[in-house]
Amino acid sequence: MFRALYLVGLIVGSTVRGICTRRYRPSAAADERRSGLDSALRRVASVGLLVLPLVYVLTPWLDFADYGLPMWTGGVGGVVFAAAVWLLWRFHVDLGRNWSSTLQVNVEHTLVTQGVYRQVRHPMYAAHWLWAVAQLLLLHNWIAGPALLVLFLPLYILRVRREEQMMLDHFGEEYRAYIKRTGRVLPLSISKYWGKSLLS
* pLDDT tens digit at each of 200 positions of the chain: 788 989 999 999 999 888 887 887 766 666 777 788 888 999 999 999 999 999 999 999 999 999 998 999 989 999 999 999 999 999 989 988 877 777 878 777 889 999 999 999 999 999 999 999 999 999 999 999 999 999 999 999 999 989 999 999 999 999 999 999 999 999 887 766 665 666 65
pLDDT at 173: 96
Of residues 154, 125, 147, 133, the one with CA closest to residue 57: 147
Residues 6+ away with beta carbon under 8 Å from 60:
none
Whether the Cβ atoms of residue 152 and residue 128 lie closer than 8 Å to each other: yes
* Nearest by Cα to 8 from 54, 65, 61: 54
As a whole number of angstroms, the distance between CA 116 and CA 133 comes to 20
CATH match for 2-23+31-103+111-186 among 3.30.930.10, 1.10.390.10, 1.20.120.1630, 2.40.50.140? 1.20.120.1630
| Overall pTM > 0.85 | yes
